Amino acid sequence: MIRSVVRGFGAALPKRVMTNRDMEDVVDTSDEWIVQRTGIRQRYIAGDDETTSSLGEAAARAALDNAGLTPADIDLIICATSTPDNTFPATAVNIQNRLGMTHGFAFDVQAVCTGFVYAVTTADAYIRGGLAKRVLVIGAETFSRILDWNDRTTCVLFGDGAGAIVLEAGEGAGTTADRGVLTAHLRSDGSHKDKLYVDGGPSSTGTVGKLRMEGREVFKYAVGMITDVIEAAFKATGTTSDDLDWLVPHQANRRIIDGSAKKLNIAPEKVVVTVDLHGNTSAASIPLALATAAADGRIKQGDLVMLEAMGGGFTWGAVLLRW
């Protein structure tokens, strides 16, 4: 059977690092408060010359270099983002142009923090359906553009960045020993919209708007929703937490990450955590964490890796793959 195999990975971050100490000069907060409640120690903030598409392009080029490929080898680009350069065209099309591609096709996926999981699942469907052989899957965000910098409960949480992987069609025997995407499980529930949203848009206010979040409400639902999709992935493949080599969660909050791992009996040493370095970069957080752990040698070929995320909507999902 056809499997979607990870061929390469890459990441890109803005030039500016903003530490918690720097944040103290912006709002009434403290390094101790931020670290204790979130685990975040710093984040990257895009400059005037850095956009979602420029960061996405840099991550894409890094992933292509890692894979030993060029843009000419790619059939499809999917970009997960909630902070596009323009209302339209899609940021993926902008990235396609920046890469010098005039072939293939490109589109965006918008599922907020779950965006990269949705994008990987979509790419897998295109590959298994024979519509693409190689797909560049990107998560890219400039969340600093939609933050209310007077709201200390949200502005300390988010950062900017991009990550990417190249998925390539490969042959598998149809067992969990196959390399590539083994199973994917997506969910959404729009009744929770008001708990995490942006208060603007072309059709409603004609403005970009700012991020609004009921933090306690999001936290209340997060662990249960994450557990739901991870357990579904285990059930679908006949695997357990003992079989897992790495959990690569959405990097929103250290307490959510730790709580989910504990509930699922996943050992702390199997969890990739980069929230301290990047903050919450929404759809970019999982590919950034993947690139970090693959680059430093933790994630190796043949490892069983679980990706999971929850985001505004609510949306949530998990992908189980063998690296």
β-sheet bridge partners, residue 207: 201
Q: Count of CB atoms within 10 A of residue 9's CB? A: 24
Closest alpha carbon to 23 in 142, 145, 151: 151
136: number of CA atoms within 13 Å, CB side?
38
Q: Which residue has the tokens 């929770």?
A: 192
The 3-state DSSP class for residue 273 equals coil
Closest alpha carbon to 165 in 3, 56, 317: 56
* Residues annotated as part of the active site: 113, 250, 280
Q: Two tokens at 215? A: 């933090």
Instruction: Report the C-alpha gap between 39 and 229 in whole angstroms.
Output: 24
- One-letter amino acid at 199 equals D
